[in-house]
Chain A
């Protein structure tokens, strides 16, 4: 342990956040205001997610932190270290081993279980924000289920691009009631939110909002009847592990147009390669 209170925040603050989380779980998709605290990191680096994680963690938990699918990028490493130091909890990179997973912009490929909690970092919790700048008005629209405007955005996408071009932060409707911003996850991940066994919590630090999805909640991506929702990904297998079903990052490998597609979920890719799956460039990668 360290000189910090467990998980950095004081107990009263954690109680306040837990109350917001419980209210969020009771009203799936509803944005609960909470008194967000200053955290020792800049806004935009996951201050909301960190506060939710801090209020959720117990000393027995095992934490995993994901940044754009990866466990080893700056955001993931620094938040993992933060909790190692302030909470002294065990950490892991393996999805199945973790009980609390804080994520930025991805849902792990491996299906989550009832014993897990998934915490999202959310920059802008209000799905209607860029259409309606007034907070008073958007709250009223949520209260009255006045969501026509959300489809105007999708209409504009089709009118301009011939298809729904929104590729991330794709708006969803929760249990036929609240329209919710799923945080900037790729729309490929949207179907995973629906009926998920794990609890999903969303924290927006700068905007001071928490919302939540209890296990097995119905989450439907908005669309038009003649332009149905499509969970898109790059049309290729992973070059390292050969996975056809995972979301891919495109990596530029030289300055002559060379590129490769690799799983965005690093833990998923690692596990598959350990199990003997090899993609097109998987062998050369190992040799190098």
Chain B
């Protein structure tokens, strides 16, 4: 079995400062990987390098493409990378506003990726938009409303629908529950867990919320100052942290 994503010694520097340094791991099909760490630890830099939003200084990001097997997404041509970005990959931003077109209706937002890969039948596009709004628990009657008329939680769910409509195999998530209140967070996590299991998605989730990774992630990487300090199975890392920083992180979680 080949890994879906193979990251080899990925390094990104901002001048003399380190963004992330020498990160390597394999992500297997159907697996959810969590990346945790404090602010400024290089989580988002790492995610953006993997998703092709930032150009890393060294290292390789190999993706198991449908036609040609493992390909280095950093050296592949821009059109190929963009094609991946709207078919096999999805990127869920922390702020829904970054990932949505706020002046386009919900249906148009969901349909955009379909139209980008060549869908040219209005009725069919609308049907799948309705279907996906239903799956993320947005009422079909809101299909022609703009995201500006949606609550924060609905915007985030709309962003997820918009990303998953083309049936991607790998989803990058940058703090998907950040900025949402806890009850909305819980429903969103529930929804995400359902979708990940149902569609057999692989996902990389960047977060500083340990509860999120506990619920969603199979494996965990802990980052500090641009380096991976510990990795392993989620419950193993959270219940028996080895590295001093991980121990601090786990013990810092507030108990209600």
Contact = CB atoms under 8 A, between A and B. Distances in A.
Contact of A148 (B107, B116, B122, B143): B116
B82 A155 contact: no
A223 B115 CA distance: 11
B107 A159 contact: yes
Contacts of A146: 82, 116
A148 B113 contact: yes
Which of B104, B108, B126 is packed against the most chain A CB atoms within 10 Å?
A: B108
B120 interface: yes
B120 A149 contact: no
A152 B144 contact: no
A159 B115 contact: no
A274 interface: no
Interface residues of A, number: 18
Contacts of A277: none
Interface string B106-121: 0110011101110011
A156 B116 contact: no
B104 A148 contact: no
Given A149-B115, A152-B104, A155-B107, 15 more contacts: A148-B115, A149-B112, A149-B116, A151-B120, A152-B111, A152-B112, A155-B122, A156-B108, A159-B126, A160-B105, A223-B120, A224-B120, A224-B121, A224-B122, A225-B120
Contact of A156 (B86, B105, B120): B105
Interface in B87-131: 101, 104-105, 107-108, 111-113, 115-117, 120-123, 125-126
B115 A225 contact: no
Interface in B175-203: none
B115 A155 contact: yes
Interface of B: 78-79, 82, 86, 101, 104-105, 107-108, 111-113, 115-117, 120-123, 125-126, 143-144
A149 B143 CA distance: 18
Contact of A144 (B79, B126, B143, B144): B79
A152 B162 CA distance: 13
Nearest to A225: B121
B23 to A, nearest CB: 28
Nearest to A155: B108
B101 A152 contact: yes
A152 B105 CA distance: 9
Interface in A39-94: none
A158 interface: yes
A156 B86 CA distance: 20
A216 interface: no
Contacts of B104: 152, 156
A140 B120 CA distance: 22
Give the top 6 A-B pairs by smallest Cβ distance, nearest first.
A148-B116, A151-B115, A224-B122, A148-B115, A225-B121, A144-B79
A146 B116 CA distance: 7
Contacts of B79: 144-145
A146 to B, nearest CB: 6
A149 B86 CA distance: 12
Contacts of A149: 112, 115-116
Contact of B112 (A148, A158, A224): A148
Interface string A214-235: 0000000001111100000000
B219 to A, nearest CB: 34
Contact of B122 (A140, A145, A158, A160): A158
20 contacts: A144-B79, A146-B116, A148-B116, A151-B115, A152-B101, A152-B111, A152-B112, A155-B111, A156-B104, A159-B108, A159-B126, A159-B144, A160-B144, A223-B120, A224-B121, A225-B120, A225-B121, A226-B122, A226-B123, A227-B122
A152 B122 contact: no
A223 B122 CA distance: 9
